Amino acid sequence: MPAALRILSLCAALVALGCASRPIGDVTLERGKTGRAQGDLAVAQKGAASVAVISTDVGRGLAFVVDPAGYLITNRHVIEDADHIEDVTFPALRPQRSFAAVRIVYIDPSRDLALIKLDVDAPLPALSLATVGSAPIEDYLHAKDRVLLLARPSEDDASAGGKKSDGFVARTGNVRELEVFNPAVGPGAFFGLSQAVRRGQSGGPVLDRYGRVVGVVSWTWKHRVGGYAIPIAEAAQMLSERPAMDTAAEQSARATERARGFLKALDGGDLEVARRMMSPTYSRKIRQRTMTTIAEQLPGDGRAAVQQFVAALEDIIDSEPAGAEELPFSKVQDVVLRTGTRGFMEALGVEGALSKDQVISFFFEFAQAYVGARYFAESDQDTAMTAAMMRLQTVDAARTFAFAEATGRFKRGAHLEVERLEIVPGAYAPHAVVTLRNRDTDGRQPATLVMQMRLEWGDWYVAELQTAGG
């Protein structure tokens, strides 16, 4: 057999065995073999060496190495609400390794996934994946398959002598179902696990009997046994969709694409897509201003207005039948919209200080979290109030405030198009200035608007909209 044919045959054999690698940009994923199942101990030991604990200023989560050069996958929610990552530590490595130099390479705008990069001086042990492409979940996972999760030890996991492990605790179980949908967490289907998912496990790998990653631990429902994970093919898809930003030309092309995408979403009424394109940094700024303005009124007359709002939510909760599966959103929405009336804003003490859209945005995010905690988690009022305040501190909620602020600059449904885009270098990251031309000629809308965009988390985000010259 000619040498070239022997090489091709060898490559085909390797792919058939499942140990093919696939470079996606600067990240190389390895697909694991399915030839021989491993015992739980072997899977746990190998997996633990590749799993890290991410500590931020607001909490902890897990991540796992997919490329020895220092690339790790985690959940978006583990890092997006943090002001900074304090460190990334590998508890199971000997000696233990910890990194303070951490870069957020990319945060998926829709999936609960993110890619981070560590500044490593030696390769890290990486986990192989069940697939390195966009394969259907049925190709590598089935209901009742045995799977293993890793978690940091809790007090309940201490040995008889009272000493806790320095590494991880392995929790074995099975796949319960392959398709579970929860739009509040992200698009697409999740798969269910029989193991309980505890706080701090988010972003960790779900390992199959071959030691391959089949999913990323993502979320759990209170009062329901087990947890839920994102299929690993979604992580591979995230890497494939990550935009190239290495050159000025690539940055400019992507900024133009994102600007047009934002306008298209607005023009088509797909406001959720547009909202998710708001800059995290700018959104936090607007959220802080909105919350500070409202908080300043609470010691005085504004407290009564908020109490009336909460009482209206309680009336909705009390009126719903026991065991209802869906949030009474239409009723909640009616109550929220009333917060934008002049009478309520005057009672709250913010008339003239905040726009109608800003006030509605605040109470929309508050109500969603409050009613969800009372309705589904069966929390008491104090706990629900805490959940609502925690929701307001998230980037996702902040984007609602920023979206209301930005879109208040022009008439809803205005037909805007990109006329010119300029990339401006910055001390830390470039920003883009986009001149928008209004296609409407009815005189009710400024002919020209300026959109500011920021390069954050590996992509361009809309910061604000301004009338030309203002």
pLDDT confidence of residue 158: 47
Q: At what angle do helices 381-392 and 356-375 cross, to 10 degrees?
A: 140
Nearest to 32 by CA among 271, 175, 210: 210
Query: Phi and psi (nearest 5°) for 179?
Result: -135, 105
Dig out the tokens for 302 from the structure.
């504004």
pLDDT confidence of residue 415: 78
Query: Phi and psi (nearest 5°) for 143?
Result: -60, 140
Centre a 10 Å sphere on the Cβ of residue 343 and count the other Cβ atoms it contains: 10
Which stretches does DSSP call E strand in 234-289?
none
Contact criterion met (CB below 8 Å) for 339 and 357:
no
Kindly report the length of the chain: 470
Centre a 10 Å sphere on the Cβ of residue 232 and count the other Cβ atoms it contains: 28
For residues 410 and 353, give the distance between their C-alpha atoms in angstroms, rounded to a whole number.
19
Question: CA triplet 284, 336, 111: central angle to 5 degrees?
Answer: 45
pLDDT confidence of residue 443: 56
Dig out the tokens for 323 from the structure.
């065991």
Dig out the tokens for 218 from the structure.
């993502």
Name the burial class of residue 60, with classes exposed (0-12), middle (13-18) and buried (19+) by CB atoms within 10 angstroms of its CB: middle
pLDDT confidence of residue 107: 95
Which regions in the chain score pLDDT beneath 70? 1-19, 155-166, 222-223, 322-327, 410-414, 440-446, 468-470
Q: In what helix (H) or strand (E) does residue 423 lie, and over which residues does it extend? A: strand 416-424
Give the tens place of pLDDT for each residue, 214-235. Answer: 999 998 876 677 899 999 999 9
Residue 223, phi-psi category: left (phi > 0), alpha (psi -120 to 50), beta (remainder)? left
> Is 390 strand, coil or helix?
helix
Q: What is the DSSP string of 226-243?
A: SEEEEEHHHHHHHHHHSP
Distance from the Cα of residue 2 to its chain's centroid: 50
pLDDT confidence of residue 325: 61
Centre a 10 Å sphere on the Cβ of residue 15 and count the other Cβ atoms it contains: 11
Give the tens place of pLDDT for each residue, 107-124. Answer: 998 899 999 999 999 999
Contact criterion met (CB below 8 Å) for 123 and 197:
no
Tell me the pTM. 0.85
pLDDT confidence of residue 413: 56
For residues 190 and 180, give the distance between their C-alpha atoms in angstroms, rounded to a whole number.
5
